[in-house]
Amino acid sequence: MKTIRYNSLSLAPSKVVCIGRNYVEHIKELNNEVPSSMVIFNKPNSTITDTLHFISPDTRFEGEICFLMIGGEICGIGFGLDLTKADIQNHLKSKGLPWERAKGFDSSAVLGDFVPFNAPLESLRMTLHINGVLTQEATYELMIYKPLEMIEEIKSFMSLEDGDIIMSGTPKGVNNYKAGDKFVGKIFSDNRLLIESKWIAQ
């Protein structure tokens, strides 16, 4: 089983639950429709990695605030990259087919370390710099569905096991990347840095 780091613990999530289309400007940049209900999909445990691999030229990054769940509640927070094979996803969407081939492939959930979280959810903000350039930025206010709404909706049809991760969606600024690109993802509570994760695409 693939694991994530939470303080000094090593936890094996049964799944990563992803919220799609949760920022209006990201929906617009991909020419998608604003959903009438929450878009939810899973990445299996086999997708989890702490290394950013260059997969293919059409693979894009999506930086996200990630929540660690224990006892059915948020106990930790971390930064993650949801990797997507864009060409394959566009084909699957055009046919009305599931996204697993584009979203659920090995090493497609790139997760940094997690730290305990006890700050107000409303204070959350994330940034992603690539090669020193600010590429993505988002705040709690920009989320269409807020974290507690996500949890309530997920629990309405699926159990959240201890150690499971919720990836809360990506803001505008997604793009392709190449080997050697340097990623720095940060999550803040207001102006206080909670966690920073760094990767160099291999």
pLDDT digits (tens, 9 = 90+) for 18-30: 998 898 776 677 6
Q: Which residues have CB under 8 Å from 165's CB, separation 6+?
A: 4, 13, 15, 16, 17, 66, 67, 68, 69, 78, 80, 109, 111
Mean of the pLDDT values across residues 49-59?
Answer: 97
**Residues 95-151 pLDDT 10s:** 999 989 999 999 999 999 999 999 999 999 999 999 999 999 999 999 999 999 999
Average pLDDT along the chain: 95
- Confidence at residue 36, expressed as pLDDT on a 0 to 100 scale: 79
Mean of the pLDDT values across residues 3-7?
Answer: 97
Q: What is the pTM of this model?
A: 0.95
Q: Write the DSSP assignment of 29-77 as a string of letters.
A: HTTPPPPSS-EEEEEEGGGEESS-----TTEEE-EEEEEEEETTEEEEE
**Residues 140-190 pLDDT 10s:** 999 999 999 999 999 999 999 999 999 999 999 999 999 999 999 999 999
Under the banding of pLDDT at 50, 70 and 90, the label for residue 35 is confident
Show the domains of the chain with their CATH numbers. Answer: 4-200 (3.90.850.10)
Residue 167 · residue 185 · CB < 8 Å: no
Neighbours of 13 (CB within 10 A): 26
- Confidence at residue 71, expressed as pLDDT on a 0 to 100 scale: 97
- Confidence at residue 201, expressed as pLDDT on a 0 to 100 scale: 98
CA 35 from chain centre, in angstroms, equals 18
- Confidence at residue 27, expressed as pLDDT on a 0 to 100 scale: 62
pLDDT over 80 at 70, yes or no: yes
Give the pairing of strands 48-49 and 109-116: parallel
